[in-house]
């Protein structure tokens, strides 16, 4: 079954093979494959999320929510699913739901409620950054030397988005965009907390149970390997006298 990892490994192999022999370091393939997997995976995930949003009619709200949450996440970190397809599926559902909720709140909430939501979001997110950012994972640890810089960037990024949403509020423009950014920041602030990590871990397990693609891929790979072995060792095939 196709996977972003397999594509990145194949492209890495081609790129490294094209280099002069003296530049083909043993670890270069893994480094290039890792970078390609992150870059290609992010671009594909973004394209799919925005395509679904455009189909549902939430493109501006989803685009702003992805931009706000994504930039905040780059600095603050946070929990995430352990498989690419689960991350993609959960992101599609989450951001489009946030966009729908933003449109709903923009049509039905007043200015006082919106200001209260802004103040609550600012308080919650600033506390989350102060308390837990930057938050890493076992697969993507953050070095001790990088933590102070990422922590400062987290505060700066959060302040930027809060200032932008406050501009939306006072100018009265982009009601659904105001709510999309606020909800995205609040969600990202939650994902760096311990309860956010537990929630995402539970979601990851649920999606793995409902869509066990790893097991399907494992069985398919096993069948391919058995077929390959039979092809190269006819004596193992019952119909060829190998019993």
- Residue ranges per structural domain of the chain: 1-56, 58-233
- The residues, any chain, with a CB within 8 Å of residue 63's CB and separated by 6 or more, are 50, 53
Would you say residue 206 has pLDDT above 70? yes
Predicted confidence (pLDDT) per residue in 57-102, tens digit? 999 999 999 999 999 999 999 988 888 788 889 999 999 999 999 9
17-56 pLDDT, tens digit each: 777 776 767 667 777 777 777 777 788 889 999 999 999 9
C-alpha torsion angle, residues 150, 156, 160, 161 (rounded to 10): 40
The residue with greater pLDDT, 139 or 64, is: 64
Per-residue pLDDT tens digits for 221-235: 444 344 434 444 444
Closest alpha carbon to 177 in 74, 43, 67, 48: 67
Q: What mean pLDDT, rounded, does the chain reach?
A: 83
């Amino acid at each position: 079954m196709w996977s972003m990892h397999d594509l990145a490994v194949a492209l890495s192999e081609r790129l490294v093979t094209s280099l002069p022999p003296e530049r083909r370091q043993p670890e270069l393939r893994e480094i290039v494959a890792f970078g390609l997997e992150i870059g290609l995976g992010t671009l594909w995930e973004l394209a799919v999320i925005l395509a679904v949003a455009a189909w549902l009619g939430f493109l501006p709200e989803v685009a702003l929510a992805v931009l706000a949450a994504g930039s905040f996440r780059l600095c603050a970190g946070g929990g995430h699913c352990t498989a690419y397809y689960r991350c993609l599926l959960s992101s599609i559902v989450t951001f489009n739901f946030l966009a729908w909720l933003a449109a709903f709140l923009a049509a039905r909430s007043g200015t006082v409620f919106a200001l209260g939501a802004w103040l609550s979001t600012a308080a919650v997110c600033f506390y989350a950054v102060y308390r837990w950012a930057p938050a890493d994972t076992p697969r993507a640890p953050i070095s001790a030397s990088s933590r102070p810089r990422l922590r400062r960037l987290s505060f700066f990024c959060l302040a930027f988005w809060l200032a932008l949403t406050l501009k939306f509020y006072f100018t009265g423009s982009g009601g659904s965009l105001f709510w999309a950014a606020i909800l995205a920041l609040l969600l990202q602030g939650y994902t760096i907390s311990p309860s956010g990590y537990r929630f995402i871990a539970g979601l990851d397990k649920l999606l793995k149970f409902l869509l066990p693609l790893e097991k399907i891929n494992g069985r398919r790979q096993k069948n391919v390997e058995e077929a390959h072995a039979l092809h190269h060792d006819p004596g193992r095939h019952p119909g060829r006298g190998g019993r």
